[in-house]
Amino acid sequence: MSTTTTATADEVVLGRSSLTAEEVVAVARRGARVRLADDALKALAEGREQVRALAEGDRPAYGVSTGFGALATRHIAPDLRARLQRSLVRSHAAGAGAEVEAEVVRALMLLRLRTLASGSTGVEPGTARALEGMLNAGITPVVLEYGSLGCSGDLAPLSHVALALMGEGEVRDSSGERRPAAEALAAAGLEPVELGAKEGLALINGTDGMLGMLVLACHDLERLLRTADVTAAMSVEALLGTDRVFAADLQRMRPHPGQADAAANMLALLAGSPIVASHRGPDCTRVQDAYSLRCAPQVAGAARDTLAHARAVAERELAAVIDNPVITPDGRVESNGNFHGAPVGYALDFLAIAAADVASIAERRTDRMLDVARSHGLPAFLADDPGVDSGHMIAQYTQAGLVSEMKRLAAPASVDSIPSSAMQEDHVSMGWSAARKLRRAVAALTDVLAVELLTAARALDLRSPLEPGPATGAVRGALRARVPGPGPDRYLAPEIADASALIADGAVVEAAETAVPLR
């Protein structure tokens, strides 16, 4: 395939090549426009001609002249084939549960459009144009949470999108209002699509939803793992820990790249700290710190390496063509199993495990700062007047509850399989389910790190007159612009939300990088 996909701040141009993760995020979250390139339109036209010839021929072709799944043995007469595609979409738009987030739906729409643009699915150019138009008009089909087993594609979620293309079902318009699809399309000057042979199948037979959620999670976790290095360093400093264990020569003895990066970040973040310097001399009786401090780079580093693996999987998937049957470069139309979501599902589950462990070690550091027996001189629960005030006691409860939930979310979905379609589809990936729980885990990790951030910043304040280092001090300053310092008990939930927002928008990492670069 040629490489013609490009992106600007405002537009992603889809050719026959792979997408980048950054382009997916731009369209899903920032509303970047999408444009089909000339080579994509040419490929679409060529692929459609092959499907048209197949539909007019005598040889049975799955999904063109036959039914679907366990009904694939039924021959469909030519005059029923358009109805076949409409019936497929309507019957498969059978989702249930809560409405899926708009950014996820936009991501799966974009990823399905990229596969269509390859020319290997055989849809009409006009059908791809219609999906392009819906994305650019900000029309987001209402997709419901349950309905994908992660095999034969994310069937129900993608079917809700295809249904909207047909002018049926419900959507959110560009203002976020929920309304009938036909009404929203008309308001945007778009026409419903009349599906021809194979087109319904091509619109729904992909792993686009789970892949979109993997890409978005990888984007978020990259920022969260750097944030975890920041909050860990602040906790080490607040607990009078040492930075010597993060030395590069010690890390080289166990040459994992993620560990080296995390340790280098923590060493840089603690550089120049008067608090660290205050107990560096021979008078210090501390031999070594607790595991939650000393082993922070080993845990965060393993999570980084897990993320690197997941990103490699995502990059390969972003170059993939997922459909069944598929038109091969030499013109054959072949059934295949590339719609099975195992590669994506495994990566999603692996990330949920890593996120849970990063959260777990952060919670242990928080607990140490609140325990008068282990905090090395800090007041109990960092309270202003312990006994009268409870300080951060219940913030740690909240953090512990989140960590426990993340441990449950770390149970892999991809080891589950439930047969469907009268045992024709007898092994499935559950990749969509793995993606849904990872999204919850990523949100929970953000809040866990927010509690550690709040607690470590308060502990650093309580070390006064000693001051934190330039980098950790800059982070504390960014937090103090939103959240006041120590004092009598006050309403804490909004402070946790503010700290979470600072983490989610990258402000914590940006504040640290005003003093030191981070890896």
- Among the listed residues 62, 146, 291, 346, the single catalytic one is 62
Both tokens of 493, joined, read 């939930």
Q: What is the 3-state secondary structure (H, E, C) of 419-472?
A: CECCCCECCCCCHHHHHHHHHHHHHHHHHHHHHHHHHHHHHHHHCCCCCCCHHH
Other CB atoms closer than 10 Å to residue 169's CB: what's the count? 21
Catalytic residue check, 397: no
Q: From its phi and psi, is residue 273 left (phi > 0), alpha (psi between -120 and 50) or beta?
A: beta
Q: What is the DSSP letter of 141?
A: E
Pairing of strands 326-327, 178-180: unpaired
Do 44 and 125 meet the contact criterion of CB atoms below 8 Å apart?
yes
Do 47 and 120 meet the contact criterion of CB atoms below 8 Å apart?
yes
Q: CA-CA-CA-CA torsion for 86, 90, 91, 94, nearest 10 degrees?
A: 160
Both tokens of 258, joined, read 């993620």
**Burial tier of 235 (Cβ tally within 10 Å: 0-12, 13-18, 19+):** buried
Q: Helix, strand, or coil here: 280?
A: coil
- Count how many residues are written for the chain: 519
Pairing of strands 33-36, 11-14: parallel
Q: From CA 72, how far away is CA 21, in angstroms rounded?
A: 36
Which distant-in-sequence residues (6+ apart) come within 8 Å of 105 by Cβ?
A: 140, 141, 143, 157, 161
For the chain, first and last CA: distance in Å? 33
Strand segments, DSSP code E, in 96-180 are 96-99, 140-141, 144-146, 170-172, 178-180
Q: From CA 95, how far away is CA 75, in angstroms rounded?
A: 28
Both tokens of 456, joined, read 């470590």
Task: Just list the catalytic residues.
Answer: 62
